[in-house]
Amino acid sequence: MRIKSLHPDRVRAWLARAEAWCRARGSNLTPLRREVLELVIARGRPVRAYELLDALRARGRAGSPPTVYRALEFLEAEGLVHRLSARKAWLACPEPGHDHAGVVLSCRHCGRALEVDDASLVEPLLARLDAYGFEPEAGLLEVPGTCDWCRQERDHG
């Protein structure tokens, strides 16, 4: 059986790294922002904004859409979460401080997504876009498809 969400210890460690990262950058990871990040991390998969809002409210926080969207906007600017536009969802970044160049492998079946921070994956593609005069943005390329687990499920029952 698959795990439903991240182990609390791993969440704690992840949060600690995020705190250190913000401290180093002089950015303000407030309790609210930290709490939203914690929720995103704990899911271990892309989360929608209104799920986060519900979760905040369930914890007794006051909350409305701007509450969560503002927190997410901050977290994305800090590189702590990434927005997956094809999924309208937000994914915690496992390595704040990295380049976030590479891909996100987004499974249409189970909804999970894997961030692969490997610039060498996309560099050959991006380099060729120069021929079109196109300057690609830094960031992750979203690749929809079927993940390993779902593929095995499908192929070997």
Give me the residues that bind a copy of itself (CB under 8 A), please: 85-86, 103, 105, 107-108, 114, 116, 121-122, 124-126, 128-129, 132-137, 139, 141-149, 151-152
Q: In the bound complex, what is the minimum distance in angstroms from residue 75's beta carbon to a copy of itself? A: 19
From 66-74, 115-123, 132-140, 144-152, span contacting DNA (CB under 7 A): 66-74
End-to-end CA distance of the chain, in Å?
14
> Interface residues for Zn ion in 79-108 (CB under 5 A)?
93, 100, 107
Cβ nearer to a copy of itself, comparing 60 with 133: 133
CA atoms of 57 and 133, how far apart (whole Å)? 47
Residues 109, 123, 125, 127: which binds Zn ion (CB under 5 A)? 109
Number of residues near Zn ion (by CB under 5 A): 7
Of the pair 37, 107, the CB lying nearest a copy of itself is at 107
For a copy of itself, the closer CB: 9 or 135: 135
Tokens 């894997």 identify what position?
114
Choose the binding region for DNA from 43-51, 113-121, 128-136, 138-146 (rule: CB under 7 A).
43-51
109, 37, 3, 119: CA torsion to nearest 10: 60
Q: Are 79 and 97 in contact (CB under 8 A)?
A: yes
Integer CA distances (angstroms), 19 to 4, 54, 148, in order:
25, 24, 32
Buried b (16+ CB within 10 A) or exposed e, 79-104: bbbbbbeebebbbbbeebeeebbbbb
